[in-house]
Structure 1
Amino acid sequence: MAEWDIRKLQILRTLRERGTVTATAEALHMTPSAVSQQLTNLAAQLGVPLLEAHGRRVRLTDAARLVLTHAEAVFEQLERADAALAAYARGEAGEVRVGAFSTAVPALVVPAVRALREAHPGVTVRIREAEAAAAYDLLAAGDVDLALSLAAEAPSAADPRFTRVPLLTDPLDLALPPDHPLATAPAPTLTDLAAEPWIFGGSGPWSDITRRACETAGFSPHQGHSASGWTAILAMVEAGMGVALIPRMAAAPRTGVVMRDLGPAGPVRHVTAAVRRGGETGRAVTRVLEALREVAAAPGHPGGRPTPRS
């Protein structure tokens, strides 16, 4: 295969446009002898004559014109590459892989992706659902570029591998069947329900959410049932099988369930984003983080209170 040299092809192309070696040299800020030398080298690399004498000047051979016909496609693709790299450098293009726990996907990630499609269509987001703690493992392994998780599941803030970005504080609301005595009480508290059967999340942080909140309120909850998803938990509450704490981000409206706000002193979970240390400087990652912050701070977001930037 012939040895192609983009720089020398550009010189040949400029000679075709300018007509003389002198004019080509001026356009490219080279000396005429350097232009001639580069074209001689290119002819040797390709194994065909590129120039022929024409009076006191030179002109392109048929072989040179054939070479340039094919080279134009290369130049066009390089222009596209230059434009793509420039967009990437501005944060207007690139792919960001996001690992997120289940309720964060519809509440935070999907709205952020929609906003990015409008503002920065060149930024592509690939979503991977994962348990809150597992999201950090994916991040550490390089399988995702950004992890959405819970602060309670995060490694220590001193962990040198990650930069953490607080997003919002998600209140935990009390889910009760409509005929429960506290469904219409003025200000229900967790301690009012110390003797009730509680419906826990099936595993991991979802189970811990209820246990930690109740223990903070001064009692150890009795686990009546468990389920792996919030929809199943709400269905059991609706059936009168127990009560539950539901993150506001996860609470889909259900006619047979009453959701009670436990007030500013009620339990919360803290939603955070994380990137590998230094990854926050990536332009595309920055765009995704900005979109997530905007979603979290939007008025009426189900998650409640956005966490102020530090």
Structure 2
Amino acid sequence: MGWTLEQLRTLAALADGGTMAAAATELGYTPGAVSQQMTALAAAAGRPLLVRVGRRVELTDDGQLLLAGAREVLAADERARSALAAPRADRRAVVTLGVFGSAASAGFGPTTALLRERAPWVDVRAVEVDVERALEAVVPGPGRSPLDVSLGLDHPDSPSPPVAGVAVVPLLEEQYAVVGAVGSLPTGTEALRAALNEADWVLPPLDTAFGRAARTACARAGVAPLVRHTVTDTAVSLALAESGAGLTLATPLMLALRPTRCDTAPVPDPSGGAQRRVVALVRATAAQREAVRLVLDALHDTFSRLRP
């Protein structure tokens, strides 16, 4: 049915005024224009809407039924217009942000604090995402609503393929360090490398980006890690390392997630390639929203302060 807001508004004015002339006066039309609007509305509805009684008109049963819906539509239209006309301070724009453990711990609070100062009308709502599925979180799919922005990870040693329509915004680059129980990491590059080859390890599975990147970093450093414990959760990995169950890799953000008494040492890789990048993933269409751009700016400034 192809009726318009103006036709529905004419129907309501006619019901309130009772005559074509009264409706025309209320709307600023001519009586002929009111008649044309109602003829078009009846054609769109596919059934008679009015009955003439002298100069007055009354609504048919179908006209009354359509009127009830028309008033709801017109009220919703008025609320939308009022919302757009309101001062910026009175508006609310919701931005959904996918987060994962270490990045959320370090970045969510400062980001929302910046937004409260800069744009208090922007309401950021966090949604936990599996960091391995951060890209999926911002891409529309059957049966799911995409997030506006998601924090994710980019591993140079295990890069993700680009996805059309999704921008990757770099936020922070971190170096991995070897983490082990107190006294488990000797000094000196060769002594450390020998210890890393002899020790048990706690690493993520090989079918994860971090798992692949960790093993590539170890191989480049001349280390073949003996993976005894397969763990994806950062806090669990650090707890196992602290207990002496094995060595693991972690970045400053990961170490900040859980207080630990572990020793740390740089990965003995002369290329310095053992690293990860915290990124923001955003659809190109979502990035056109002012509120989303403000969130991206706040994320950028927050993580800039965390850079060494």
* TM-score greater than 0.5 by the shorter chain: yes
Distance 1:121 1:266, change over 3 A: same
Q: CA RMSD, aligned part only?
A: 4.7
Q: Does the 8 A contact of 1:123 with 1:284 survive in 2?
A: no
C-alpha separation in 1, matches of 2:173 and 2:92? 29
- Aligned residue for 2:32? 33
C-alpha separation in 2, matches of 1:255 and 1:126? 27
- Aligned residue for 2:223? 220
Q: Identical aligned pairs, as a percentage?
A: 26
In the alignment, structure 2 segments of 5+ residues that lack a partner are none
Which residue identity is paired with 1:273?
Answer: A
Pick one of 261, 266, 269 that aligns with 1:256.
261
Pick one of 253, 272, 281 that aligns with 1:274.
281
Which residue identity is paired with 1:275?
Answer: V
C-alpha separation in 2, matches of 1:166 and 1:130? 15
- Aligned residue for 1:175? 179
Pick one of 169, 174, 179 that aligns with 1:165.
169
- Aligned residue for 1:238? 242
- Aligned residue for 1:185? none
Which residue identity is paired with 2:130?
Answer: E
C-alpha separation in 1, matches of 2:298 and 2:282? 15
- Aligned residue for 2:130? 129
Q: Does the 8 A contact of 1:198 with 1:244 survive in 2?
A: no
Q: Name the TM-score, length of structure 2 as normaliser.
A: 0.64
Q: Does 1:73 align with 2:72?
A: yes
Q: Which moved more, 1:60-69 or 1:266-275?
A: 60-69
C-alpha separation in 2, matches of 1:149 and 1:81? 38
Distance 1:79 1:95, change over 3 A: farther
1:115 positional shift: 7.4
Q: Name the TM-score, length of structure 1 as normaliser.
A: 0.64
C-alpha separation in 1, matches of 2:211 and 2:49? 75
C-alpha separation in 2, matches of 1:222 and 1:127? 31
C-alpha separation in 2, matches of 1:81 and 1:126? 27
SS at match of 1:305: coil
Q: Does the 8 A contact of 1:210 with 1:244 survive in 2?
A: no
Q: Does the 8 A contact of 1:176 with 1:258 survive in 2?
A: yes
SS at match of 1:47: coil
1:49 positional shift: 3.7
Q: Does the 8 A contact of 2:172 with 2:279 survive in 1?
A: yes
In the alignment, structure 1 segments of 5+ residues that lack a partner are 183-187
Which residue identity is paired with 2:240?
Answer: M
Distance 1:221 1:94, change over 3 A: same
C-alpha separation in 2, matches of 1:271 and 1:290? 15
**CA displacement 1:59-95 (0-9 Å, x = unmatched):** 56487996756643332233345567899xxx95466
User: Where in structure 2 are the equivalents of 1:102-141 lying within 5 Å?
Assistant: 103-108=102-107, 119-120=120-121, 126-131=127-132, 134-136=133-135
C-alpha separation in 1, matches of 2:280 and 2:52? 61
C-alpha separation in 1, matches of 2:185 and 2:128? 42
C-alpha separation in 2, matches of 1:190 and 1:110? 38
C-alpha separation in 1, matches of 2:92 and 2:193? 52
1:279 positional shift: 4.8
Which residue identity is paired with 1:223?
Answer: L
Distance 1:285 1:51, change over 3 A: farther
Which residue identity is paired with 1:7?
Answer: E
